[in-house]
Amino acid sequence: MPSTVYFGSPRQARLEAKETLPAKLDLILDQLHLRDRVKGETVLLKIHTGNNIGYSTINPVFLRKVVQAIKDGGGKPFVADVWWDVAGAETRGYTAETLGCPIIPSAGVEDRYFYAHERPYKNIKTWKVAGYAEDATFMVNFAHAKGHPSCGYGGAFKNIALGCMVGETRSAIHDTHHYDRYWFPELCPDAETRQRIIDSCPHGALVQDKHNPEEIHMHFEPCNACGRCLKVAPPGSLKIEAPFFWTFQEACAISTAVTMSTFAPGKAVHMVLATHMTPVCDCFGFTSMPILPDAGIFGSDDIVALDTAVLDATSKTPLIEENVPTSMEIWKREGHPFQVLHGPFKDPYKVVEYGEALGLGTREYQLVDVLPVEKISRPTLGYIKAN
Ligand code: SF4
């Protein structure tokens, strides 16, 4: 059975506030019955506060509306994110005064307050869920959609997967890319050839391993699977294959499942604001030009359906290529625009596939537009003769 995803278009018919995205957020909160669900709950409003001088994260105008809805419903809201993003969040307009509730580091100022969950996956044995995230009894997961160098797309899953874990687990999630062997030094014993392989990558994705000069270490983030290195590497010595790139997304799905397991059924809603979508994550500390047209605001009880709907909506428009930083290389124009941007192996849909397999929701959804854009009808044009 499909899940319902509520949607507010970024487009409007009339120049009126009630047709704009913050007003459509109100309609989505009504549809999700947020006020009716939070009485007596301690509500985590999980956002990504960004870093440094980024300005494309969710504007406090939206967050204040969510906070007010939670208060109206008798809930006790607080905003949380990882400590190094919360430190300095006021630079980007996030304070207790602007949001209407406290804003705290999710695992404490020392990043040491957590609950451990055993669930082996590749290099990860223990998932350390941020203490204040797990202590909350209800979660409003409100993500900003953007591109992501590790996996193509960052949305609702990534907001929980990375943002509700302590730094040690966040690093381990990134390290899942390196668990399966992609470099086989026995097939390339010659140092000169190794250096040629490293030099062949125009994106700096290949480096000599810090501890072992015979090892090549790959940075998966800048790799767009262009294949230049494979032309230089002896056969079989280096593997650049799609499944290596997917481990991050599978880890994100598991991480989300672990955090979600600490909330009782029905005690979470998920929303995504798909505006000013930048090439990379908000943690980079700056805002680049948008690489896609704004796609709107989305909300659902089902995180799988939600991220699927956002990806489908953003797949309908091509990249704004003139806004792509010139250091990035677009060499294959197939698949989702985030894949076109970050390389064909960074399929942004993998995370929802893994999430569905873990029972977090369904990729089948029905999209309900909370305020369809009115078509304005006009009489046919008259003819005014010049002069
Ligand atoms: S596939 Fe292309 S981007 Fe990736 S490591 Fe090889 S040369 Fe670099």
Q: What are residue 124's DSSP bridge partners?
A: 121
**Residue 231 belongs to a domain:** yes
* 195 and 338 inside one domain: no
Question: Which residue has tokens 């481990």?
Answer: 247
Question: Which residue has tokens 């010595």?
Answer: 237
Please tell me if the CB atom of residue 203 comes closer than 6 angstroms to any atom of ligand 1: yes
Q: Distance between CA atoms of 19 and 24, rounded to whole angstroms?
A: 7
3-state secondary structure (DSSP) of residue 365? strand
**pLDDT tens-digit readout, 87-96:** 999 999 999 9
**pLDDT tens-digit readout, 318-329:** 999 999 999 999
* 204 and 342 inside one domain: no
* 299 and 346 inside one domain: yes
Residue 315 contacts by C-beta under 8 Å, 6 or more apart in sequence?
A: 336, 337
* 38 and 119 inside one domain: yes
Choose the final residue of a domain: 191, 212, 240.
240
* 337 and 301 inside one domain: yes
**Residue 23 belongs to a domain:** yes
331 alpha carbon to ligand 1 midpoint, in Å?
12
Choose the final residue of a domain: 219, 240, 261.
240
* 134 and 205 inside one domain: no
pLDDT score, position 189: 86
Q: Distance between CA atoms of 219 and 3, rounded to whole angstroms?
A: 37
The b-or-e profile of 203-231 (16+ CB within 10 A means b, else e) is bebbeeeeeeeeebbbbbbbbbbbeebee
* 279 and 228 inside one domain: no
* 74 and 219 inside one domain: no
Out of 195, 196, 224, mutate this one to test ligand 1's pocket (max ligand atoms within 8 Å of CB): namely 224
**Residue 137 belongs to a domain:** yes
CATH of residue 223: 3.30.70
**Residue 380 belongs to a domain:** no
* 233 and 321 inside one domain: no
**pLDDT tens-digit readout, 151-193:** 999 999 999 999 999 999 999 999 999 999 999 999 998 999 9
153 alpha carbon to ligand 1 midpoint, in Å?
19
| Counted domains in the chain | 2
Residue 387 has pLDDT above 90, yes or no: no
**pLDDT tens-digit readout, 328-385:** 999 999 999 999 999 999 999 999 999 999 999 999 999 999 999 999 999 998 888 8
* 230 and 285 inside one domain: no
Q: Name which residue sits closest to atom 8 of ligand 1, judged by CA.
A: 201
* 128 and 18 inside one domain: yes
**Residue 297, CA distances (Å) to 28, 144, 264, 344 in order:** 9, 9, 25, 26
pLDDT score, position 274: 98
218 alpha carbon to ligand 1 midpoint, in Å?
9
**pLDDT tens-digit readout, 144-156:** 999 999 999 999 9
**pLDDT tens-digit readout, 212-232:** 999 999 999 999 999 999 999
* 170 and 199 inside one domain: no
**pLDDT tens-digit readout, 8-49:** 999 999 999 999 999 999 999 999 999 999 999 999 999 999
Domain coverage including residue 216: 183-240
Choose the final residue of a domain: 192, 213, 240.
240
CATH of residue 284: 3.40.50
**Residue 363 belongs to a domain:** yes
Q: Which helix (H) or strand (E) holds 81?
A: strand 76-81
Please tell me if the CB atom of residue 229 comes closer than 6 angstroms to any atom of ligand 1: yes
204 alpha carbon to ligand 1 midpoint, in Å?
8
